[in-house]
Amino acid sequence: MEINLGILLTLLLIVVPFWKICEKAGYSGWLSLLLLIPLVNIGFLFFLAFSDWPRDRGNPGA
């Protein structure tokens, strides 16, 4: 079975870093897979940028 290099690069360069960002924000890392869906990925980036992160909800100074 041949692995497509483009798929592998996408996973490594986009999904893996956003997986870590989601986990640090307090969300499930699985949400980073939304980046692979066209148009949903743009909405997800806005959600991640402008939502109140669960990690900061108990931290009023953050």
pLDDT tens track for 15-57 = 999 999 999 999 999 999 999 899 999 999 999 999 998 888 7
Per-residue pLDDT, 24: 93
Q: Which residue has the higher pLDDT, 62 or 32?
A: 32
Pick from 14, 54, 8: nearest CA to 36: 14
- Please give the Cα distance from 62 to 41 (Å, whole number): 26
pTM of the model: 0.77
Compute the half-sphere exposure of residue 12: CA atoms within 13 Å on the CB side of its CA: 6
